[in-house]
Amino acid sequence: MTSGKNGRTDQTNPGRVAFLDGRGELPMLKVSTAWSTAEIYLQGAHVTHFGKKNEPPLLFLSQCSRFADGQPIRGGIPVIFPWFGAREGLGQHGFARVKAWELKEFAPAPDGSVSVRFRLPDCPEASAFSPFSVDYIVTVSDSLNLELLVTNKSETDEFVFENCLHTYFEVSSINGISISGLKGVTYLDKVVNFAQKTENDNAIRISSEVDRIYLNTPGTVEIVDSGLKRRIRVEKQASLSTVVWNPWVAKAQQMPDFGNEEYERMVCVESGNVGSNQIRLPPGESSRLMVKLSSEPL
């Protein structure tokens, strides 16, 4: 899933990585390849930007996002781990998204792509779980390839967790898109107190708040954007859940780090394993969530 454009090599134009002070003076990596650019903050190992040359950015980033130590970034790809959603007495969506991850290595490859590997550092919150390690490998080429590798370090106990790559996509207008690949799938409708429903639509359109956890759905999801004349493809491995979220008007107004009108230009299509799809990892074993994000003209 990590090859360069059409599998061709591009030794004349190797990928590059620059280290910068990002917004809020948080450390950030800027990756450039022959086909694309990406920006990744160490805080949360958070990809805040991916865009192909001569194409609008693939990822949405809120103009109102905080960029501060220990605060989640609004937009891009928050890494949600080890739990999704609310947990009693604990923060929403786990702690991985607000920790400063370690940069382990980066490698411009002969095919012109660049891979960057991060590791979640030890932290007090992790001690509530059996011992684990988490690596996150981001590969930038003509597509964006993400791998979240979780290893259970215990010799005796299962490690039970949820994970999710909470991807915010930039769209021309929420009225001008449809989402396909989920027809017939059972979902929990969080807007209606987690009511269980079945998706009837081939092409899902959004015209009010949407917050849905689609379960047992390993397949590819596509966003067709008639305004940008672009098809976004979300391909995944070892992910059984897809979450679709748009806060719409009232919720947008309640979020301090999100503009009142920004719901018009974004949609989240998130890939992971949440709720009844949570992962039960036997001692010593690893799970590798892989997501490939790509786009093509309509």
* Residue 92 binds ligand BG6, judged by CB under 6 A: yes
* Residue 243 binds ligand BG6, judged by CB under 6 A: yes
Residue 25 half-sphere exposure toward CB, CA atoms < 13 A: 0
Q: Which of 211, 225, 235, 262 binds ligand BG6 (CB under 6 A)?
A: 211
- Spell out, one character per residue from 126 to 155, where the chain touches ligand BG6: x when CB under 6 A holds, - when not: ------------------------------
Residue 23 half-sphere exposure toward CB, CA atoms < 13 A: 16
Residue 76's identity, in one-letter code, is G
Neighbours of 104 (CB within 10 A): 12
What pairing do the DSSP bridges indicate for beta strands 114-119 and 241-246? unpaired
Two tokens at 86?
């609310």
* Residue 166 binds ligand BG6, judged by CB under 6 A: yes
Nearer Cβ to ligand BG6, position 147 or 270? Answer: 270
Catalytic residue among 46, 162, 166, 199, which?
166
DSSP state letter for 167: P
- Report the site for ligand BG6 in 269-288 (rule: CB under 6 A): 270
Q: Is 49 a catalytic residue?
A: no
Closest CA to 165 of 31, 288, 283, 36: 288
Nearer Cβ to ligand BG6, position 39 or 211? Answer: 211
Cis peptide before 14 (omega within 30 of 0): no
* Residue 262 binds ligand BG6, judged by CB under 6 A: no
Catalytic residue among 147, 235, 262, 270, which?
270
Nearer Cβ to ligand BG6, position 166 or 230? Answer: 166
Nearer Cβ to ligand BG6, position 40 or 164? Answer: 164
Q: Which of 49, 52, 93, 99 binds ligand BG6 (CB under 6 A)?
A: 93
Rounded to 5 degrees, φ, ψ at 5 are: -55, 125
Q: Which of 51, 72, 112, 181 binds ligand BG6 (CB under 6 A)?
A: 72
Q: Are 134 and 267 in contact (CB under 8 A)?
A: no
Least distance from C-beta 17 to ligand BG6, angstroms? Answer: 28
Closest CA to 167 of 294, 67, 4, 25: 294
Least distance from C-beta 298 to ligand BG6, angstroms? Answer: 27
Nearer Cβ to ligand BG6, position 103 or 191? Answer: 191
Q: Which residues contact 287 (CB under 8 A, 6 or more apart)?
A: 149, 150, 163, 238, 279, 281
* Residue 235 binds ligand BG6, judged by CB under 6 A: no
Nearer Cβ to ligand BG6, position 170 or 270? Answer: 270
b/e burial code for range 184-200 (CB count within 10 A of at least 16 → b): ebebbebeeeeeeeebe
Q: Is 93 a catalytic residue?
A: no
Number of residues interacting with ligand BG6: please give it, by CB under 6 A: 9
Note the residues at the interface with ligand BG6 (CB under 6 A): 72, 92-93, 166, 190, 211, 243, 245, 270
| Residues annotated as part of the active site | 166, 270
